[in-house]
Amino acid sequence: MRHRLIRSGLASLAAVALTAGVAGCGADSGDSTSTGSEGSAISAERCAENKAAGKITYLSGYQYQSSASILEYIAASKLGYFKDLCLDVTLQPGSGDTAQNTKLLASGKATVGPVSEQDVIQARANGIDITGISSYSDAGLDILMTNKDITDLTQLDGKVVGHKGYVPAAVEAMMVKAGVKWSSLKLVKQGYDPSVLPRKQGGLEALTGFVSNEPNQLKAAGDDVTVWKPIDYDVPSSLGAMAVNPAFAKAHPNTVEDILRAALYAYDYCSASEAHISECVGYAAQLSGPTYDKKLNATIWKTETQVVKDNPTPGQPLGGVDPDNVAELVDMLHQFEIVPSSVTAAKAKGWFDTSFVSAIYTGDKLVWPAP
């Protein structure tokens, strides 16, 4: 197989997007910045039910970066939304190691956290028991960058393509679909400095990255590159997807609903205006320390939420999982021999539970306060 069974993609942001010394410290919903009062947005009966669920550990994908699926959970804690719903949520920063995060979720050491739809499928294929519960978009973060002299991906035939340790499946699928002769490429592992692309270091003609990260860094440095997105080639992916420990979800389904309810409510708040973006990024900075790059992280949030806005999940409210996308992901994973043929689309769809998101909406309107 050419790809890792479980990706660690967010780790590549470590050296560039978040230069803060955030260790394993957490922040719970009882933080002094909370503005709500306990139980103010929920019935007394449901409040008691959520309290009985006990401590909930949210594990981020990568530290306290201002990404979709991270910033809104920080904001839900800081703004008191978890408290409003009687949820005892502790925030835990993840290392960017997707494999480790899925194992922590499966073991119950973490309750809920960001895991892409593809990684849920890969985890389950490898016996790691987690359940996908939401996603913001069928578009993903993985992209390919080239200099402006590349106007068609087939121009990369025989050229040097840089990556962070492997080429993401969605990027490879895009290139193959565009007609690139994959076997002709010279694949080279690069570090975390995207300026190697405009400098064409080592003959580099293309570089993988994340749509909200490296292109923004290069733009800030005055370097203009072309960003090639798998979604533009109808290649499946996901953005802002979440997973939960299945035992917790089975025992406390209403609590899982309310975790998502608070996060989605915070997502709307943090997307409402520049002032709100600055406020929410400020909460992440408080947790991270003085070296947190608030300007870059605000740009990361704005870029990712714009991708979500531009690529809404078909037939679903914000957070809803698209079953057709899950099936298409399975096909792609088969194409690149990442999961065995025994992983069928029908089986993979069963690894996602759409009932939690469905329960917190009336049409496309999020129900707040809770029942």
Q: Does domain 9-139+238-366 have CATH number 3.30.750.200?
A: no
Q: What's the rounded Cα separation, in Å, for the pair 217 and 226?
A: 13
- Tell me if residue 276 falls in helix, strand or coil: helix
Note the pLDDT of residue 192: 85
Name the residue ranges covered by the structural domains of the chain.
9-139+238-366, 142-233
More confident residue, 5 or 124: 124
Report pLDDT for 37.
Answer: 86
Q: How confident is the model at residue 168 (pLDDT cuts 50, 70, 90)?
A: very high
Alpha-carbon torsion (8, 270, 76, 27), positive or negative: positive
**DSSP letters spanning 74-104:** HHHHHTTHHHHTT-EEEEE--BS-HHHHHHH
Give the model confidence (pLDDT) of 356-367 as tens digits. Answer: 999 999 999 999
Does this model's pTM top 0.85? My answer is yes
**Same CATH fold, 142-233 and 9-139+238-366?**
yes
CATH superfamily label, 142-233: Periplasmic binding protein-like II (3.40.190.10)
The 10s digit of each residue's pLDDT in 246-281 is 999 999 999 999 999 999 999 999 999 999 999 999
The answer for residues whose C-beta is within 8 angstroms of residue 312's C-beta and 6 or more apart is: 137, 318
CA distances (Å), 98 to each of 10, 177, 301, 317, in order? 8, 27, 20, 26
Do residues 140 and 355 touch, judged by C-beta distance below 8 A? no
